[in-house]
Amino acid sequence: MFDCLAGVLAVLSLVGPMAGVEAAVTPTFNKDVAPILFKHCASCHRPGEIAPFSLLEYKDASKRASFLAKVTGENRMPPWSPEPGFGHFKDERRLTESEKSILQAWAKAGAPEGDPGQLPPKPAFESGWVLGKPDLVVELPKEFTVPASGPDVYQCFVIPLPVTRDEAVVAVDFQPGNAKVVHHAILYLESDGQGRAKADPVTRSFPSFGGPGIRPTGNIGAWAPGIRPIQLPEGTGRYLKKGSDLVLQIHYHPSGKEEKDKSRVGIYFSKTPIRNYVGAVGIRTRQWALRIPPGESQFTLVDQSEPLPVAAKAIGILPHMHYLGKEMKVDAKLPDGSEIPLIWIKDWDFNWQGIYGYSEPVDLPKGTVIRMRAVFDNSTANPRNPSSPPIRVTWGEQTQDEMCICGVQVVTDNKKDLKQVMDMLHGDLGMILGGGGMPEDDETRSLGMARNKKIERLILWEYDADKDGMISKEELELVPKSNRERVTLMARVMGKLK
Ligand code: HEC
């Protein structure tokens, strides 16, 4: 903590002439603090929203003054995981150093209210659809009941989309039915009935913690409080195959009393023919390498993509780990040796994960390699560890399992290039993490690699430890039991069994 005078001087020098001398001497709620809370906190901290208390009124803010100073000083609030300077994103939720100093100086001075005449008007929040009327609005099949307490709920709702021809989605928006409990939402697509088969016939939904619990065909976006819908660059869309279901995964945070939710999704289609669809480069570690011993606090995995076969522009990034995830750093190594930071999350928080959209597309020339480094903490010191005492953790979809994946969403010049991105080693994973693929039409049918060839590459990458191009008995031992029979069969069919 700095001493009071130094803090006040810092405020004086940083906020400049606008704030005036009196404010610098002792910041007041009305003049100095309310503008900060209205701008950076009220989107969640107001009645009816997800945060546990409102910060609109003096009485609510003043009684927590030191708490507000503390959580902002530690960068715990507003919730925003990426490190500054490591990628520039849309809607970054971050206080400046001078804003943090004002909150600290205000708390030290006993949280004075100040002159009521200086209180700015309460912020107005956009209601309704911020991009105008969507082309399609769908909602939860039935009201969903969120219990009063207990662990957070992750539920996937299967919603048939009444689209009778292939579309290109240019934006999506989400309206929480009950903002007190809806923490975030991810919008997957699926078109072969797995979701319907899995869903409870009454709620038309199923619980699923990590991923969506099925194999989606694409992803058209995500929502979290305070994030505006992202409109894709001109001429670009996410592929939506006719007859697809939306598999809407919602994360609910119990509020202390039983709540009902009926959230809605608004979808915007391209009105003009688009030039290309959005793809994504998937990166993941070998699943068997993710075996975290209990007590290990710095379990580190690194991996990287294949070199990009074509030039691309990154428009967003979606890192994903579970509760043991502590740190994820992703960058791009260009063919000329230079490095571009893509994201660095130093204190991963599963509850605040999201898709991060770049404020400007990031150029990735042909030959660029995307590198990922992830650290897991499976010790008792990790307050988010779901197991107490810690257990040995492996790859999986459940709360106590882990994952280590990242999708870099990209646009390319043309469909041929996109197909090459989809043919990269983890092309299928990339599609789930934000790319939606593209239609099979006359132009694209002849492009791309045969499915067998793709599977062969994946299996060799995952299990051919000695890189001799064959899968041996010893290497099959590495395959998790649940998967061993399938991998053995595939390897045999491909003539890759030693
Ligand atoms: C995007 C939504 C959002 C924004 C913006 C936000 N908060 Fe929060 N805040 C929450 C939620 C949700 C919680 C409940 C705890 C949690 O889920 O992390 C919370 C909890 C808190 C807490 C209690 C922390 C604890 O450990 O119990 C404080 C204090 C707080 N917020 C202050 C702020 C301040 C100050 C700002 C603005 C500078 C802010 N918040 C901005 C959503 C938000």
Q: At what angle do helices 4-15 and 97-108 cross, to 10 degrees?
A: 140
Ligand 1: residue of 71, 75, 102, 255 to mutate (most ligand atoms within 8 A of CB) is 71
Write down the residue that tokens 């058209």 correspond to.
220
Are the C-beta atoms of 126 and 174 separated by less than 8 Å?
no
**How far away, in angstroms, is 15 Cα from ligand 1 center?**
24
Atom of ligand 1 nearest to the CA of 226: 1
The domain spans of the chain are 4-118, 136-274, 277-438, 449-498
| Cβ atoms 330, 343 nearer than 8 A | yes
Instruction: Let me know if 73 is exposed, middle or buried by CB neighbors in 10 A (0-12, 13-18, 19+).
Output: middle
Which residue has tokens 């929203």?
49
Which residues form ligand 1's pocket by a CB distance below 6 Å? 40-41, 43-45, 50-52, 64, 67-68, 71-72, 77-79, 93, 95, 225-226
Best of 40, 44, 72 for a ligand 1 pocket test (most atoms within 8 Å of beta carbon): 44
Among candidate residues 68, 5, 4, the one with its CA nearest the CA of residue 33: 68
Residue nearest atom 42 of ligand 1, based on CA coordinates: 51
Residues in contact with 417: Cβ distance below 8 Å, sequence separation at least 6, in sequence order: 309, 310, 311, 312
For residue 314, with 0-12 CB atoms within 10 Å meaning exposed, 13-18 middle and 19 or more buried, which class applies? buried
The Cα 102–Cα 8 span in angstroms is 8
The tokens describing 125, both together, are 């929040």
Q: Give me the sheet containing 299-304, strands edge to edge.
A: 299-304, 369-376, 325-333, 339-345
What amino acid occupies position 101?
S
Count CB-CB contacts under 10 A for residue 364.
Answer: 23
Q: Which residues pair with 248 in a beta bridge?
A: 157, 187
Q: Are strands 312-320 and 153-160 parallel, antiparallel or unpaired?
A: unpaired
Quote the ligand 1 centre to 179 CA distance (angstroms): 14
Which single residue is written with the structure tokens 């023919």?
Answer: 273
Residue to substitute in 39, 77, 96 for testing ligand 1 pocket (most ligand atoms within 8 angstroms of CB): 77
CATH number assigned to the domain covering 136-274: 2.60.120.310
Please choose from 41, 98, 223 the residue to mutate so as to test ligand 1's pocket, defined by most ligand atoms within 8 A of CB. Answer: 41
Query: What confidence score (pLDDT) does residue 24 get?
Result: 54
Residue 148's pLDDT is what?
A: 95
Give, to the nearest 10 degrees, the angle between helix 65-73 and helix 97-108.
Answer: 150
Distance 79 CA to ligand 1 centre (A): 7
What separation in Å is there between the alpha carbon of 71 and the centre of ligand 1? 8
User: What gap in Å lies between CA 7 and CA 104, rounded to an integer?
Assistant: 8
Specify whether the backbone of 143 is left (phi greater than 0), alpha (psi in -120 to 50) or beta: beta
Give the residue from 423, 457, 450 showing the smallest Cα distance to 281: 423
Is the Cβ–Cβ distance between 91 and 226 less than 8 Å? yes
Q: How far is the CA of 51 from the centre of ligand 1 (A)?
A: 6
Taking CA atoms only, the protein residue closest to ligand 1 atom 16 is 51
Q: Exposure of 368 by Cβ count < 10 A (0-12 exposed, 13-18 middle, 19+ buried)?
A: buried
Going from the Cα of 318 to the center of ligand 1, the distance in angstroms, rounded, reads: 22
Q: How far is the CA of 44 from the centre of ligand 1 (A)?
A: 7
| DSSP strand pairing (276-277 vs 236-240) | parallel
Rounded to the nearest angstrom, the distance between the alpha carbon of 184 and the centre of ligand 1 is 15
Instruction: List Cβ neighbours of 446 (8 Å cut-off, separation of 6 or more).
Output: none
Q: Collapse the DSSP code of 406 into the 3-class scheme (helix H, G, I; strand E, B; otherwise coil) and give the result.
A: strand
Of 252, 148, 142, 260, whose CA–CA distance to 208 is shortest?
252
pLDDT at position 1 = 35
Nearest CA to ligand 1 atom 12: 51
Token pair for residue 204?
């038309």
Q: Which atom of ligand 1 is nearest to the CA of 103?
A: 35
Query: Are 136-274 and 277-438 the same fold in CATH?
Result: yes
Scan for tokens 């983890």, then name that residue: 426
Between the alpha carbon of residue 465 and those of residues 217, 255, 426, 428, the distances in Å are: 29, 48, 18, 22
Terminal-residue alpha carbon distance, the chain = 64
Q: Enter the pTM of the model.
A: 0.89
What span, in angstroms and rounded, lies between the C-alpha atoms of 134 and 175? 12
277-438, what's its fold? Jelly Rolls (2.60.120)
The series of mean pLDDT values per 10 residues for the chain, 498 residues long, is: 39 42 74 97 92 96 97 94 93 94 97 96 88 96 94 94 94 94 93 91 89 85 85 90 94 93 97 91 92 97 97 95 95 98 94 88 98 98 94 87 93 92 90 82 80 88 91 88 88 90
- Which of these, 458, 475, 455, 454, lies nearest to 466 by C-alpha position? 475
Residue 5 carries which side chain, given as an amino acid letter? L
Residue nearest atom 20 in ligand 1 by C-alpha distance: 51
For residue 45, the model assigns a pLDDT of: 96
State the distance from the centre of ligand 1 to the C-alpha of 72, rounded, in angstroms.
9
